[in-house]
Structure 1
């Protein structure tokens, strides 16, 4: 029977991902099968989980998914020895308005699954106050159980002793304390961690993290704190309609942000996926009946995309007769032009009139609920789609027919409506699920 545990923290940037990867690899090195999940709309961390465990990881999201979908996705951990769900932001951080089954907070998943929380605390600049924070998180919400704490970035043995004593007085178990260790710091960029597939040394970094954590954390005690878990059969699956029978999917360092559960759902529904690389100047598969451009980092590769004539002409020819859809970065590439952070304007494919700029960066972040005003691949007019938007581009022009009426999680209408022109459609949000 698998043992389940949720890794969370009081805030972002405390070390949840590093600890998750280290525990997963350390237990895998002991011969255990480890399955990871990511709570919330992060499309980067699952690839790191897969690198650490050798098993594909997926997102579970209480704002966008119903309980049946979450149960279906988590059910993939049935044959594992240990199941780790990595939280996002702080333990109780979500949106103000409830979504399908919650607010998107990690605590929602904790309560649904009945797993205890392993809390990562960074006591930098404090001592006993760290215990007050941990105790507050423990007692804040009924149904959320704290297994214990791992301290991260401890300054000295004296600092560790002060924090440990306070936590022990509060009745909170301390499984270990990690001194600062620059060698296991994961590199970052403006949308989060540099992706796992871009890091040639990621395996060595995870191995070093596992060695370091095994040296400073009682792995056996952490494992004993996990809850024995007997997953219940899911009442339903993903209920996802693929955008086509044969999908030409752009996939490379520019186009990499797509939720793993969506690809799995497409394949489970019988669709075939044909991968091509715009960065390598490849055109979409001519035998495909739809083309999908995920998000990613077009702003880092705009010059090359603009120069890749075979990709641009092949995509335009494809769109003459078949649908093409872009999400976020893919949407920007379907547009007329993209201005990079240096103020250089690059011509894009011109299938849509969208023009975007990174010269004056402005963060767009949050859940999105879109009611389609026009069809897009796999979804008809009136469909209600749930997704997440995260980018730093500014709209210079968005002249085409709006694709949808889009609201944020508070219900406010937003300007990023998406677009439709001919066979081409695009959205700034990344699709997570469709309302049933």
Structure 2
């Protein structure tokens, strides 16, 4: 029987990912089998989890996924000694309107699975108030159990003592307190952490985080606080249709934002994935029947993409006879042009008329529910798709036929409809699941 914990916090940016990686590696160093998950639509953190545990991590999402899908995904932790689900944002943060089985909040996953929550509390600029915040989170929602807290970035022994005393008085267990330690800070950029595969030293950084946390946190107490868990025996609950039988998948530093469960679902359905690198001026495999360009950071590599004539001409040739689909950054690359943060315009593939700019950044963030007005790879007109959009580009032109009617989580219609032209389609949202 496995044991499960949820790592959460009152807000973003307080150290959830660092603590999750450190605990996972520290327990793995002790010989335990550790399985991680990510609650919410974050496609970067699972790669860090895999680096820490040696096991693939996937997302679980109560807004986009049904309970059977979530149960199927977490069942991969059945053979683990400890399962850690890292939350997103604050513990109860989700959208206003309920999705498939929740609002996307980390608390939904904690309650659904019955796993206690370890809160990461950053008491910078406060002392006893940190206990009030922790107590409020503990008591806010019945069905969500608080195991205890780990304090992060405490300023001094006196500061730690004040916070500990207040938490003890509130009946909240303190597993440990971490002083500031710059050596375990994970580098960031505008869409989140710099990706794990871009950091050659990621293994050493995780090792240092594990050493530091083991020195300051009672690992045995945290482990013993985990909830015993027997995964449900469920059939394959993944509600995902592969876009083709043999999929040419763009995969490099510019095209890396793809949910791990999507790739697993495609393979489970019998599809074969053939990766290629646009940054290396490679072209889609000639034997593939569909090409998929996921999101990533095309704005950081726009000049190189524009200069890689072999990639762009090869992609255009592929699209003459077979479908090509792009998500977010991949959609921008299928377009006519991309203006980078310095205001320099770069020619893209030209399969669609989309023109985007990063010269004036504007954040687009949120869940999306799309009803297709036209087919896209793997999905027929009328299909309802659930996904998530996160980028900072501005649309300068989107002249092609709209691909879908797209709503945000409140039901409001949004302008980012996606596009279609010939065999090319694109969306600003990243697909998570077909609607139930």
Normalised by the length of structure 2, the TM-score is 1.00
Instruction: Report the 3-state secondary structure (helix = DSSP H, G, I; strand = E; otherwise coil) of the residue aligned with 1:296.
Output: coil
2:385 is the counterpart of 1:385: yes
How far the C-alpha of 1:147 sits from its partner, in A, is 0.2
Residue of structure 1 in register with 2:111 after alignment = 111
Q: 1:234 & 1:389 partners in 2: Cα distance?
A: 30
CA distance in 1, matches of 2:237, 2:104: 20
Residues 114-134 of structure 1, C-alpha deviations (whole Å, 9 max, x = no match)? 000000000000000000000
In the aligned structure 2, how far is the partner of 1:2 from the partner of 1:32? 11
- Using the TM superposition, give the Cα deviation of residue 252 of structure 1 relative to its aligned residue in structure 2, in angstroms: 0.1
Counterparts of 2:52 and 2:61, CA distance in 1: 22
User: How far did 1:323 drift?
Assistant: 0.1
**Bigger CA drift: 425-434 or 237-246?**
237-246
2-structure distance, mates of 1:70, 1:175:
29
**What are the residue-to-residue correspondences of 1:141-160 with 2, within 5 Å?**
141-160=141-160
Query: RMSD between aligned alpha carbons?
Result: 0.5
CA distance in 2, matches of 1:371, 1:240: 15
Deviations 1:209-228 (A, max 9, x none): 00000000000000000011
Per-residue Cα deviation, 1:291-320 (whole angstroms, up to 9, x for no partner):
000000000000000000110010000000
The residue matched to 1:37 in structure 2 has which SS? strand
Distance between the aligned counterparts of 1:198 and 1:24, measured in 2?
Answer: 21
Residue 227 of structure 2 is aligned to residue 227 of structure 1? yes
Deviation at 1:258, TM superposition (A): 0.3
Structure 2 distance, partners of 1:143, 1:236, is: 27
SS at match of 1:100: coil
Could you state the TM-score of these two structures normalised by the residue count of structure 1? 1.00
Partner Cα distance (1:280, 1:28) in 2: 35
Q: Deviations over 1:370-422 (max 9, x none)?
A: 00000000000000000000000000000000000000000000000000000
Please give the secondary structure, in 2, of the residue aligned with 1:256.
coil
Aligned-pair CA distance for 1:234: 1.9
| Pairwise CA distance, 1:240 | 1.6
Partner Cα separation in structure 1 for residue 338 and residue 217 of structure 2: 47
Which residue does the alignment assign to 1:273? Answer: 273
* Distance in 1 of aligned mates of 2:316 and 2:394: 24
Counterpart secondary structure, 1:241: coil
Q: Distance in 1 between matches of 2:373 and 2:236?
A: 28
Which structure 1 segments of 5+ residues have no match?
none
Whole-Å Cα distance in 2 between the matches of residues 175 and 22 of structure 1? Answer: 14
* Structure 1 SS opposite 2:388: strand
How far the C-alpha of 1:281 sits from its partner, in A, is: 0.2
Q: What CA distance in whole angstroms lies between the structure 2 residues aligned with 1:130 and 1:235?
A: 43
Report the alpha carbon displacement of residue 232 of structure 1 after superposing the two structures with TM: 1.0
Aligned-partner SS, 1:313: helix
| Cα shift readout 1:276-297 (whole Å, capped 9, x = no counterpart) | 0000000000000000000000
Distance 2:346 2:234 in 1: 47
Structure 1 residue 236 displacement after superposition: 4.2
The count of aligned residue pairs is 436
Residue in 2 aligned with 1:137? Answer: 137
For residue 235 of structure 1, report the CA deviation from its aligned partner. Answer: 4.6
Partner of 1:404: 404
Matched residues in 2 for 1:273 and 1:236: separation?
A: 20
Is the counterpart of residue 80 in structure 1 residue 80 in structure 2?
A: yes
Equivalent positions of 1:1-40 (< 5 A) are 1-40=1-40
Deviations 1:254-295 (A, max 9, x none): 000000000000000000000000000000000000000000
Rounded to whole Å, the distance in 2 between the matches of 1:47 and 1:74 is: 16
Q: For the residues of structure 2 that align with 1:380 and 1:248, how far apart are their CA atoms?
A: 20
Q: Runs of 5+ in structure 2 lacking a partner? A: none
Tell me how far 1:239 sits from its aligned partner.
Answer: 2.7
- SS in structure 1 at match of 2:378: coil
Which deviations, in whole Å up to 9, do the C-alpha atoms of 1:131-160 show, x marking residues without a partner?
000000000000000000000000000000
Measured in 1, the distance between the counterparts of 2:310 and 2:348 equals 13
Question: 2:296, 2:33 → 1: CA distance?
Answer: 31
**Alpha-carbon distance, 1:237 to partner:** 1.8
